[in-house]
Amino acid sequence: MLTVIKEIKGKGLPLRGDDIDTDRIIPARFLISTTFEGLGDSAFCDERFSPDGTPTNHPMNDKKFNGSTIIITNNNFGCGSSREHAPQAIKRAGYNLILAESFAEIFYGNSSVLGLVCITLDKNNIETILKSIETNPDTEISMDIEKSELSVAGTVYKVELKDALKSSLLNGSYDTIAELASNKDEVKTFEKNLPY
Amino acid sequence: MGKNLFQKVWERHTIKKLSNGQTQLFIGLHLLHEVTSPQAFSMLRELGLKVAYPERSFATHDHIIPTDNLTRPFADNIAEEMMQAIEKNTSDFGIKLFGIKDNSYGVIHIVGPEEGLTQPGMTIACGDSHTATHGAFGAIAFGVGTSQVRDILATQTISINPFKVRRINFNGKLNKGVYAKDLILFLISKLGVNGGLGYAYEFAGNAIDEMSMEGRMTICNMAIEGGARVGYMNPDEKTFAYIKDKPYAPKGADYDKALTYWKSIASDSDAQYDDIIDIDVSTIEPMTTWGITPEMAINIDENVPQPTTPLMQEALDYIKVDAGKSMIGFPIHVAFIGSCTNGRIEDFRLAASILKGKKISPNVQGLAVPGSVIVKKQAEDEGLDKIFKDAGFEWREPGCSMCLAMNSDRLVGDQVAASSSNRNFKGRQGSSTGRTILLNPAMVAVAAIEGKIADVRKYL
């Protein structure tokens, strides 16, 4: 069974930018596979490396953010494709919490089922947090799921954590299959009465 | 108070409320392709689960399939492995595959409608964000991730929250050279790439009523580019006529029964909406993108805007275009006509009407990739393939091809593609520095002829 998630702690990765799409998170050529294995190494690959292979100044290449487990980014994160490969790559790269101004819907759903927690906060507070992490990369961040509170260097922010996700994290049911399958008799009756 | 189509279809497919507060929603039709399904089948095997309703799932292969040489095994070993996986998975679990073996494959969102699988009042899901395409028939259709593909295979249901509904009225008379693609690009340019977050879009108005089913599919297809996971139109006589006599359409008395249901789920005249937007289509001209999101689109008569955000500046730098200048004259290297957005018969007819008797620029590689075997055959019966080939286009086998470049159809370096597809994201077409200009198919044909972005209206 899945584990209950009550608290997430770690260092932050400042990933500035709006509309960071799924092709940027994981380019389509890495989807040529029948598994999700190894995707973590390819997360943000084309953002992190120039065509000739030299590393860019992407924050994931910056030593001072080594070991970070929390992504802080801007608006409409994860827009584009429905590929679950995108949250799979992020999770496998070691991240378990993403703070953004907003998320694209399919990405949000795909992340939630994996226990990759997506929370939102307004632009100004995100800017404050980004600056704080850029200045002090070792800043400890902690997220209290029950209270929907994010603590960054002593400041506590009330973040938006959607009810459905919160309850499923707290009772360990964020992977939906067990509950869906438990209703199979109701589904059977329902299916017989469908007009098609 | 009346209800809209979304509300009616949602209620008709609700099993119950789950402990997380979300709806357990029944999925009437599940579509599968080779990229987002193999992991789902692996999870089923690991959990020892069966496919609950295999007769409600249909598969094809489209993303990785080559469009030049279909000899098996494919030159790309992993692509071959993915093909074998979808063949084995569908065979093991008793799911119909529209495959290469019986020559019935194509882009999943083109195959569904042309087989008559897509019908009004259905809930349709697929591990692909462009699933809203099927909404053109009055279905509630949306993309899902691989874990949800697993959920649907195992239970035929998913856990999901309902959407708000925004009605978008496209009224007025279309200008010359303006097609469905321009309408949706215009809408996204006005509302933004996340303007539709949390919404299902109901497209309506006389411009939609007068539009072909192909055009309606183009519009619904790109709802997700504006942030809306669902887009749909109310079904009408055109919808019913399209479905009738298709292989999987209900027949005889079943058809009449289905028709009653289809008509019953249309939005009531007094239906309520969370938001309503009116667009006068006579204000829309042929559109072109200039940047790295579909929102960065302008009328062809407009100039590239001055940057007001870091993202806009990033886009100008990436595309290598100057603010304040027209996109007309911007050189291109590849012209791509195809994809689930504009890979249907009407799109090839339109492009062929421009290309007839002309040659494309020697500096341009022209790629015509029909959306399915059926589209390809139809085009060939009409002699369209000859027009494309005579003009200098390569007439390829069906597939997603250069829309997302998961096969060998890829941009090289920072080449520019004039593309009838749906996304101009950085690196989308197979090169991490490749550049994409999204256009309607007629504008792509004109760009191919001139070797640069041009105004289609002078060819009409």
The answer as to whether A148 is a domain residue is yes
By CA distance, what is B14's nearest residue in A?
A190
- ipTM (interface predicted TM): 0.94
Contact B339, B409 (CB under 8 A): no
Pairwise CA distance, residues B214 & B379, whole Å: 14
Question: What pLDDT sits at residue A94?
Answer: 97
Burial class (CB in 10 A: 0-12, 13-18, 19+), A155: exposed
Pairwise CA distance, residues B281 & B405, whole Å: 33
DSSP state of B372: B
CA distance A190 to chain B (A): 7
Question: What pLDDT sits at residue B1?
Answer: 83
Q: Which residues of chain A make contact with B311, given a CB cutoff of 8 A?
A: 17-19
Q: Which two tokens stand for residue A147?
A: 């209270």
**Interface contact flag, A84 B145, Cβ < 8 Å:** yes
Q: pLDDT category, B248, cuts 50, 70, 90? A: very high
Contact B63, B128 (CB under 8 A): no
What's the mean per-residue pLDDT of chain A? 96
By CA distance, what is B64's nearest residue in A?
A32
**Tokens 């996109």, residue located:** B327
pLDDT (tens digit per residue) in A73-110: 999 999 999 999 999 999 999 999 999 999 999 999 99
What's the mean per-residue pLDDT of chain B? 97
**Interface contact flag, A83 B426, Cβ < 8 Å:** no
Q: How far is CA B103 from the centre of its chain?
A: 21
Strand partners, A158: A149
Contact B204, B313 (CB under 8 A): no
- Looking at residues A132-147, what average pLDDT do you find? 97
pLDDT (tens digit per residue) in B89-135: 999 999 999 999 899 999 999 999 999 999 999 999 999 999 999 99
Closest CA to A95 of A171, A168, A25: A25
Domain containing A73 — which CATH number? Answer: 3.20.19.10
Q: Which residues of chain A make contact with B20, given a CB cutoff of 8 A?
A: 163-165, 167-168, 173, 176
- Looking at residues A22-27, what average pLDDT do you find? 96
Question: What pLDDT sits at residue B105?
Answer: 98
Q: pLDDT category, A1, cuts 50, 70, 90? A: low
SS3 call for B275: strand
Q: Which residues of chain B make contact with A32, given a CB cutoff of 8 A?
A: 64, 76, 78-79, 82, 406
The answer as to whether A169 is a domain residue is yes
Pairwise CA distance, residues A21 & B5, whole Å: 30
SS3 call for A187: helix
- Looking at residues B217-227, what average pLDDT do you find? 98
Q: In Å, how far are A18, A28, B109, B161, B231 from B135, measured between CA atoms? A: 28, 25, 11, 18, 6
Contact A98, A119 (CB under 8 A): yes
Q: Where are the domains of chain B?
A: 1-285, 288-459
The answer as to whether A102 is a domain residue is yes
The answer to whether B1-285 and B288-459 have equal CATH topology is yes
Q: What is the phi/psi pair of residue A70, to 5°?
A: -130, 125
Size of interface A-B (CB pairs under 8 A): 205
Q: How far is CA B452 from the centre of its chain?
A: 25
Pairwise CA distance, residues B93 & B33, whole Å: 14
Q: Which residues of chain B make contact with A180, given a CB cutoff of 8 A?
A: 18, 24, 151, 154-155, 157-159
- Count the helices and strands in chain B (H runs, E runs): 16, 19
DSSP state of B61: -
Q: What is the phi/psi pair of residue B436, to 5°?
A: -120, 130
Q: pLDDT category, B418, cuts 50, 70, 90? A: very high
Pairwise CA distance, residues A16 & A29, whole Å: 24
Question: What pLDDT sits at residue A162?
Answer: 97
By CA distance, what is B162's nearest residue in A?
A105
**Interface contact flag, A196 B250, Cβ < 8 Å:** yes
- Of B20 and B350, the structure prediction assigns the larger pLDDT to B350
pLDDT (tens digit per residue) in B164-212: 999 999 999 999 999 999 999 999 999 999 999 999 999 999 999 999 9
**Interface contact flag, B20 A75, Cβ < 8 Å:** no
Instruction: Give the CATH number of domain B288-459; options: 3.40.630.30, 3.40.1160.10, 3.30.499.10, 3.40.50.2300.
Output: 3.30.499.10
Indicate the CATH number for domain B1-285.
Answer: 3.30.499.10
Number of domains in chain A: 1
Contact A132, A139 (CB under 8 A): yes
SS3 call for B66: coil
Best mutation site among B49, B86, B122, B157 for testing chain A: the one with the most A CBs within 10 Å? B157
Statement: residue A2 has pLDDT above 80: no
**Tokens 């292969």, residue located:** B61
The answer as to whether A178 is a domain residue is yes
The answer as to whether A2 is a domain residue is no
Domain that holds residue A33: 7-192
